[in-house]
Amino acid sequence: MLGSGGVRSIAALGVTDVLARHGIQPDLVVGCSSGALFGALIAARTPPAEGLAQARRLWSAELTGQRNWRAYAQLLVPRWAGFDADFALRRGTLIAERINAAFGDRRIETLPLPLRIAATDAATGEPVLLTRGPLAAALCASMAVPFLFPPVRIDGQRLVDGVVSDPLPVSAALDADVLVTLGFEDACRVASTGPRGWWPTSARPCSTT
């Protein structure tokens, strides 16, 4: 179980490597937001060194630097500039290009390990669990931070970052015999007791079993 946490979620690769050295292998991966990205590398059984290299190529400061200049006009004169449900301050093209380059046309259901990707329905705020279909599109949806990146349309739904509905979607793995989670302290607390719509602010890691 890999919760949201930005680039810090890369720690999942190291944790998985350490567990593997002790003979512990996952048979299911659940990821939310950036946790879904690194979870996909784990589900694809990417070797640790290669996974770290992939992560460095996928994640950089450039991802949030692709400004959508039209968005500023949409804020100032929304009716004239066409403010709509796809409003975003940043373009999602670069992150989509990198994810497509890394995973190509792979599908979630064909990965060596089962992968469940958490996203959020932009219209209702309800959690959406993606278990089939194009991997790249699902990852883009799970990381589409509202107002920062545009929503991603999958099967007629506009999907945004899974962190909006559940930053640590433990309920997506209730069928597991043993659950190992990697997330953030506040995310762990709120995922079990807090309301939906919470936004993570803590950078302190936590893990539970």
Question: Active-site positions?
Answer: 33, 161
Instruction: Kindly calculate the radius of gyration of the chain based on its CA atoms and give it in whole angstroms.
Output: 17
Per the DSSP assignment, residues forming a β-bridge with 119 are 128, 161
* Degrees, nearest 5: CA angle 21-22-24: 100
**Burial tier of 136 (Cβ tally within 10 Å: 0-12, 13-18, 19+):** buried
Helix, coil or strand: residue 67: strand
Residues 33, 121: Cα–Cα separation, whole Å: 14
Residues 154, 141: Cα–Cα separation, whole Å: 8
